[in-house]
Amino acid sequence: MAKKIPHRLYLTEEQMPKQWYNLRADMKEQPDPLLNPATLKPVTAEDLYPVFCEELARQELDSTTRYIDIPEEIQEFYKMYRPSPLIRAYNLEKALQTPAKIYFKFEGNNTSGSHKLNSAIAQVYYAKKQGLKGLTTETGAGQWGTALAEACAYYKLPLTVFMVKVSYEQKPFRKTVMQTFGAEIIPSPSNTTIIGKEILKNDPETTGSLGCAISEAVEKAVSTPGYRYVLGSVLNQVLLHQSIIGLEAKTAMEMLDEYPDIVIGCAGGGSNLGGLIAPFMQDKLTGKASPRIIAVEPASCPSFTRGKYAYDFCDTGKVTPLARMYTLGSSFIPSANHAGGLRYHGMSPILSKLYHDGYMEAVAVEQTKVFEAAVFFAKQETILPAPESAHAIRVAIDEAIKCRETGEEKTILFGLTGTGYFDMTAYNAYLSGTMTDYIPSDEDLQKGFDLLPKVDI
Ligand SMILES: *Cc1c(COP(=O)(O)O)cnc(C)c1O
C-alpha cells in the first residue's frame, strides 16, 4: 500500500462548499420542461407560486446558473451535521478479497437518518423568508418527513405530513419522532382530503403510495391560506440542494489523490444520486473524465429499467405539473417492499434525461439480495444501513467482486444515504426467512402505462 489513507475523512469548515452546483447548466440538452396540466404549455414560475415558495419555484426553472450561493443561515445549519464523512471501506474490501478500493459517503449522521435534511433545511429557510404560515408534504419511509419536521421545528413553521399508510403501520416510531419535532402526521390515503376520500372509495384496502400522499399534501397546501407544499425528491431544486453530497465527496477524494472509476447510488426519486454524481457528471459532460455512473433501483419498482420515458403526473391524483421522466405510470402502486424511500413511480427529469442520453446506467435488484448485502456490510463496517442505501451497497459489492475476478484495481464510490434503525420489521423479515421478492409482470406494468397522459413530444 503506497499511502495509508484514513478510514474517515472530514473536510474542514473552510473546505465546505459555499455554493450548490446546478447540473443543468452543463447539460448539452435540457430535460423536457414541466407542463401545466391544464394547458399542456411549459410551466412558468408564476404557475408554480400557488404550490411552491417563490425562490424554490425559480430554482426549479433555472437551467443556466451553474453555481448558486448557499445562504449563510443554511451554511450555519449544515455545520451542525456536516461535513459528512467520506469513508474508506477497508474491512469490506478485505472481506471481499477485492483489489478494488471502496469509498462511501455516509449521510446517516443526523437524526433524520438520511441525506433528506440537506434539502429540507433549504426549503424551510426559503419558506420562512417568504413569510409563509405552514407547509405540507408527503413521506414514504418517513425520512423526508422527519428531516422536514426537524427543519420546521428549527424555523418554528407548522408542518402537516401525509405518511404512506404502509410505512405508518410498519414504522410507528418514525411517526413519534416527527411528532416530537412538532409535526402533524396523517396516514395516507386519508379522509381529510377530497382526493384521499376518492382513492379510498375506489380501493379501501390500499396500502397507499407516494403518489397518493403527494396529491393529498398538494390539496391541503393549496386549500390552506399561507401554506405551500414541499417535496423531498424528484424536483430539480432538490437535486440542486443535494449537490452538497457530491461536492464534498469530490473535494475529499481530491485530497486523497483519488477519482472514482464507478459512482453508485440508489434511486427512488433520484435526489441523493443526482447530488452525489453532480460534480462527476459535470466532468463527464465537459469531457474531463468518464466515470461509470450506476443507478440502483428495486426490482419491485423499476422506473429506469422497465419504465417508459414519457410525460406523466408526479402524483396519483393528477394535480401536479406533468414531467417527462422514466415512469411506471402515476397509477402504479408498488408492492409493499421494504425500501419505502424507493417506491416512487417516476424519476428525476434530470436523471431521466441523462439516462436516456446514455450518460448513466441503471440496475434493478431484488430485496432479499439487497438485505444479504446490508447484513454483510453491517458486519464489516459496523453501520446498519437503511434498506434504500443497501441497494447501492449490493451493486458496489457486485462490482468489487468483478474486480476480484479480473484483478482490476478500480476505485468505487457509493452513496450510503442513511441508517436503518427504523427498519427492524424489514431486517426481521429477512433474518427469519419470510422476506419475498416481488417483481411486477409485464402485464402489471402495462396497466400503469395504459393510463399515461397522452402528450405529443
Ligand atoms: C428517501 C431516501 C432515498 C431515496 O430517495 P432519493 O430521492 O432517490 O435519494 C434513499 N435512501 C434513503 C436513506 C432515503 O431516506
Q: Which domains does the chain have, with CATH numbers?
A: 29-69+116-229 (3.40.50.1100), 82-113+237-449 (3.40.50.1100)
So what's the pLDDT on residue 36? Answer: 93
The reply to whether ligand 1 has any atom less than 6 angstroms from the CB of 269 is yes
**Residue 140 near residue 343, CB atoms below 8 Å:** yes
Q: How far does residue 368's CA lie from ligand 1's centre (Å)? A: 19
The reply to whether ligand 1 has any atom less than 6 angstroms from the CB of 237 is no
Mutation to probe ligand 1, out of 161, 210, 233, 301 (largest number of atoms < 8 A from CB):
233
Atom 5 (ligand 1) nearest CA: 268
Q: How far does residue 343's CA lie from ligand 1's centre (Å)? A: 10
Q: pLDDT tens across 144-166, in order?
A: 999 999 999 999 999 999 999 98
CB-facing half-sphere around the CA of 364: CA atoms within 13 A: 16
The reply to whether ligand 1 has any atom less than 6 angstroms from the CB of 415 is no
The reply to whether ligand 1 has any atom less than 6 angstroms from the CB of 118 is no
Q: How many CB atoms lie within 10 A of CB 9?
A: 19
**Residue 105 near residue 245, CB atoms below 8 Å:** yes
So what's the pLDDT on residue 1? Answer: 47
- Torsions phi, psi of 48, nearest 5? -85, -20
So what's the pLDDT on residue 456? Answer: 81
Determine whether 204 is exposed, middle or buried from the number of CB atoms within 10 Å of its CB (0-12, 13-18, 19+).
exposed
Ligand 1 atom having least distance to the Cα of 342: 4
Angle at 363 between CA 281 and CA 354, to 5 degrees: 30
Q: Can you give the pTM of this predicted structure?
A: 0.96
Q: How far does residue 225's CA lie from ligand 1's centre (Å)? A: 30
Measured CA distances, 237 to 55, 126, 147, 230, 347 (Å): 10, 12, 16, 10, 14
Q: pLDDT tens across 3-13, in order?
A: 567 788 999 99
Q: How far does residue 277's CA lie from ligand 1's centre (Å)? A: 14
The reply to whether ligand 1 has any atom less than 6 angstroms from the CB of 116 is yes
Q: Measure the CA–CA gap between 129 and 456, rounded to whole angstroms.
A: 39
Q: Measure the CA–CA gap between 110 and 114, rounded to whole angstroms.
A: 7
**Residue 253 near residue 260, CB atoms below 8 Å:** yes
The reply to whether ligand 1 has any atom less than 6 angstroms from the CB of 233 is yes
Q: How far does residue 265's CA lie from ligand 1's centre (Å)? A: 10
So what's the pLDDT on residue 338? Answer: 74
Beta bridge partners of 135: 159, 228
Q: How far does residue 28's CA lie from ligand 1's centre (Å)? A: 27
Q: pLDDT tens across 341-372, in order?
A: 788 899 999 999 999 999 999 999 999 999 99
So what's the pLDDT on residue 207? Answer: 87
Q: How many CB atoms lie within 10 A of CB 1?
A: 4
H/E run at residue 428: helix 424-431
So what's the pLDDT on residue 341? Answer: 77
Q: How far does residue 342's CA lie from ligand 1's centre (Å)? A: 7
SS3 state of residue 133: coil
Q: Measure the CA–CA gap between 177 and 148, rounded to whole angstroms.
A: 11
The reply to whether ligand 1 has any atom less than 6 angstroms from the CB of 387 is no
- Could you tell me which of 33, 74, 31, 19 has the C-alpha nearest to residue 270? 31
Q: Would you give the DSSP letter of residue 64?
A: S
- Could you tell me which of 181, 98, 97, 100 has the C-alpha nearest to residue 147? 181
Q: How far does residue 39's CA lie from ligand 1's centre (Å)? A: 32
Give the DSSP letter string of 353-405: HHHHTTS-EEEEE-HHHHHHHHHHHHHHH---B-HHHHHHHHHHHHHHHHHHH
Q: How many CB atoms lie within 10 A of CB 300?
A: 22
SS3 state of residue 326: strand
107 Cβ partners below 8 Å, 6+ apart?
84, 114, 115, 118, 245, 272, 415, 416, 417, 418
Ligand 1 atom having least distance to the Cα of 114: 13
The reply to whether ligand 1 has any atom less than 6 angstroms from the CB of 114 is yes
Q: Measure the CA–CA gap between 126 and 334, rounded to whole angstroms.
A: 33
**Residues with pLDDT less than 70, the chain:** 1-4, 336-337
Atom 3 (ligand 1) nearest CA: 341
